[in-house]
Amino acid sequence: MECPFCMIAAGTIPADLVHADDRVVAFRDINPQAPVHVLVIPREHHGNVGALATANPELLGDLLAAAAQIAADEDLDAGYRLVINTGGDGGQTVDHVHVHLLGGRHLTWPPG
Ligand code: 5GP
Ligand code: ZN
């Protein structure tokens, strides 16, 4: 089965893009959990953060830098949260590594 986030990166299925460059794409989550909920992904397919960190740590840095820039663009001066769910217990449902950027409301801790 095709990877849905590879298809979004390729433009095969639509998404509300907020950022795109030669390495990183970011788009609004289809089921937002906060007023700002953006997913930041590498164009390259990597199954999870560990695989990406091993294969291409610079690209992991690119994801975080893009997320911080989008947070600034979205005026999240009061703060925001980056989340990388990993594996079943971590709540990962799409096996293409993605950073959740959440903001626009006060986020409680610990998460559920
Ligand atoms: P995970 O649970 O893997 O950490 O996060 C996957 C996220 O992707 C979920 O928040 C879900 O709402 C979002 N998502 C899944 N499929 C699509 C899609 O086709 N388009 C968009 N924009 N978001 C998606
Ligand atoms: Zn993929």
Q: Where are the alpha helices (DSSP H) in the chain?
A: 4-10, 49-55, 57-73
**Ligand 1 and 108: CB distance under 6 A:** no
**Ligand 1 and 84: CB distance under 6 A:** no
Task: Please give the C-alpha separations between residue 105 and each of 26, 31, 76, 102, in angstroms, as whole numbers.
Answer: 20, 16, 9, 9
Residue of 19, 37, 96, 98 marked active site: 98
Does the pLDDT at position 14 exceed 90?
yes
Task: Give the model's confidence band at 112: pLDDT under 50 very low, under 70 low, under 90 confident, else very high.
Answer: confident
Task: Give the model's confidence band at 1: pLDDT under 50 very low, under 70 low, under 90 confident, else very high.
Answer: low
**Six token digits for residue 97:** 């590594």
Task: Please give the C-alpha separations between residue 17 and each of 73, 78, 103, in angstroms, as whole numbers.
Answer: 13, 23, 17
Q: 67 CA to middle of ligand 1, Å?
A: 16
pTM (two decimals): 0.98
Q: 108 CA to middle of ligand 2, Å?
A: 30
**Over residues 56-84, mean pLDDT:** 98
Question: pLDDT, tens digit, for every residue of 72-84?
Answer: 999 999 999 999 9
Nearest CA to ligand 1 atom 12: 31
